[in-house]
Structure 1
Amino acid sequence: MTVLSGPSGVGKSTVVAELRRAHPEVWLSVSVTTRKPRPGETHGVEYFFADEAEFDRLVASGGLLEWAEFAGNRYGTPRAPLEEKLAAGVPALLEIDLQGARQVRATMPEALLVFLAPPTWEELEKRLRGRGTEPEDVIARRLAAGRVEMAAEKEFDITLVNTSVQDVCRRLITLMADASGGRSPGCPPS
């Protein structure tokens, strides 16, 4: 299992979308969130959208491998589908935040933790503001959290700098293949 983490706005979703396009054999865990859907997001595709009570039930029943609160919303990884894929030998990828990555490291130390870093702090801020999907107070919270996340980079097994989605995708597939003892082709060039 591979965990991809990094600060908000670094491009995790873009990298994952490219990786899934080029390598549909990689299973992506779909997180549960209490966040409202952004334009174009579909329940069960980008996230499972849940209300607070439903999320509480998942936490209480042990239905989440990990969960965290971020920018006023909660996010978590459903446990059962992940365990099913891992038992079947399917390469699995989790795209989660720092708190979640730490929880996975504690419960599944064999997982490969990959930190996705921005080329520069200024680029990260530009990407966050360029989304145009969140008010300034949320952006400020995401930037503050980003500073904490950047400081935690050393807790990860490897860092990939997101200067090119295709390059990051190629390296991520290679890391996943190496971690599983197999080989897999890289992502196609852009």
Structure 2
Amino acid sequence: MVSCRVLLASTLALAAPIAAQTSAQIVTTLTSLTTKSRAILPDAQSISLVNGPLFIIGQGPIPKVINGFRDIVVTATNALAADDRQPIAAGADSDAISTAFRTFVSAHQEVLNVLITKVEFFLPQVGTEPMVAILRQDEGVLDTLTFSLIDKVASRASDITAAGNDLDKTLTAAINAFSNVLPTSKRSMRFARRDMVAVA
């Protein structure tokens, strides 16, 4: 016989995803993402020619920056897993979500723009490849989050779309900036292969 306690626990477990997607909790999640983005900023700003290479031994600000983005990816992924896909009606709740999302986008762009200016302090391949990897994860989950919010908050879809597009442009710029930092040996290898093809 199944006890009432077990039945109650099962019922609560099934109801959890629905309860997890109230407008207030969505705002809380977006606010958390904003806070996490701002927490990365001091470490991003401190990256220099002196401490950048310390990444090789797991020290300096770069590992902290990567872990900060990893935390954002996990938080956003968990939020998406709890998405009940129920729309939120126009009004104060929708407005609050839109405002919270735009605030997050602004904070995240600030960090990304700082990192773009610090590319020269990352060691080619050793430092840039982990950065590109986490930025691509960040891009993927935030794209999905943006589409989810557009579907849920139809009354503010245009605002969320505009903010999402702005964020995507900045993420693309950051990924491209780090992707373009190649070791000299790799550059030489590419040119050598091109010359071999031309001769053939």
TM-score class, shorter:
under 0.3
More strand per residue: 1 or 2? 1
Q: Which has the higher contact order (CA 8 A, sep 6+)?
A: 1
TM-score (norm 2): 0.24
Q: Which has the higher helix share?
A: 2
The structure whose Rg is larger is: 2
The two structures have a TM-score, normalised by structure 1, of 0.25
